[in-house]
Copies of this chain bind each other. A is one copy, B any other.
């Protein structure tokens, strides 16, 4: 089955990659998109700012694969070699693209500045290449077939690269290549350990031809079911149901490769907008990671970040209360009323790696203690993901309640398996 899919490669150009100054997020993002389309991505290559290396890699890839998406090296400076190296690799002249030049000049005009002469370089493309307009930056990309391989070269700035890819590259790949995504079902889980999942699923005795894979990236573990190409959709879905049953309440999303991943924030938003409820946060552990994800959402009011003892709102309270869940819930409720929000998400750092999560909503108050086995920004992200997951579960469970600050409060406390 794999051999039927057209072979694809990712090429990244940038001395900063080889110096180890940045990780290559472009390669991962592009790979994921190509795999979903049904391409077989066989290699990633990164080279630096030496033109000769780039020339060599272009030729190697052309001898190996059907398509190549490349990023970087389209900037205005003397170490940006992509167009030159491509032209040299395949003995093509470079030609000034007047439309590209106009676009670049226009962008500088809109910024109220003249175009520096060096930016003119960006308007030269290999003969026969198709320009890919960049409405998000100065460097246009281009597409050209050479040595039997279809090359698409894009700027290295991730935002610009993604915008051009989504608007001009992926639609064309869909038209030009008749490939279909691999038959893989993904079950996203939270709160159940990888080995526990493996044990539960093993006990099902799935058919031997169903491949099983796991990918753990706290707080999430994805279970991947690779089905035989011949299986009908219905048969795959039934097998997925069986596995989902074995994962218990842990499954938070489920989709086939090639379909859109479920977006928990989207789901939360839809449920909240139905009843016009609002959310605020008190980020004692996630430290702004919730605000970062939600600030632009219409249902999100505000977030206060800081260790509780440092916050102006709570500075009078004694430090001894920070380990008592009841007091934390009361403080969170006080803050929810101050914000005028329907839901409040809060976390407080406890002893060791323990975090006390609090969720207050119109229908009740909940608190839960979890251990987060990570530090720094990973810990912040995991805490934010759990706070939002508690909200999602509560919204999905309670639906749209019209009462606000109601009289039906219940105090519920659960302790789930720690990661």
Residue ranges of A at the interface with B (Cβ–Cβ < 8 Å): 12, 15-25, 27-35, 41-50, 53, 57, 75-79, 111-112, 116, 118-119, 137, 157-159, 194-196, 198-199, 212-217, 257, 283, 287-292, 295, 300-307, 310-312, 315, 338-340, 371, 373-378, 380, 418
Contact = CB atoms under 8 A, between A and B. Distances in A.
The interface residues of chain A, by DSSP majority, are classed as: mixed
Contacts of A310: 300-302
Contacts of A42: 18, 47-48, 50, 53
B43 A31 contact: no
A254 to B, nearest CB: 16
A22 B289 CA distance: 19
A384 B187 CA distance: 36
A307 B288 contact: no
A214 B79 contact: yes
Given A302-B305, A302-B311, A23 B20 contact: no
24 contacts: A16-B215, A17-B27, A17-B44, A20-B27, A20-B29, A22-B217, A23-B28, A27-B46, A44-B46, A49-B213, A75-B216, A77-B214, A78-B198, A79-B214, A116-B199, A118-B198, A288-B291, A288-B292, A288-B295, A288-B303, A289-B292, A292-B377, A301-B310, A312-B339
A25 B22 contact: no
Contacts of A214: 75, 77, 79
Contacts of A16: 215, 217
A303 B33 CA distance: 36
Given A23-B23, A43-B18, A291 B305 contact: yes
Given A45-B45, A49-B213, A288-B287, A32 B21 contact: yes
A304 B301 contact: no
Contacts of A291: 283, 287-288, 291, 305-306
Assembly of this chain: how many copies? 2
Given A24-B24, A338-B312, A339-B312, A76 B19 contact: no
A375 B295 CA distance: 12
Given A31-B18, A44-B17, A375-B159, A306 B306 contact: no
A198 B116 contact: yes
Pairs A-B, 3 closest by C-beta atoms: A288-B288, A20-B32, A20-B31
A288 B17 CA distance: 28
Contact of A31 (B19, B76, B157, B380): B19
Contact of A53 (B43, B119, B215): B43
B23 A41 contact: no
B35 A43 contact: no
A361 B18 CA distance: 41
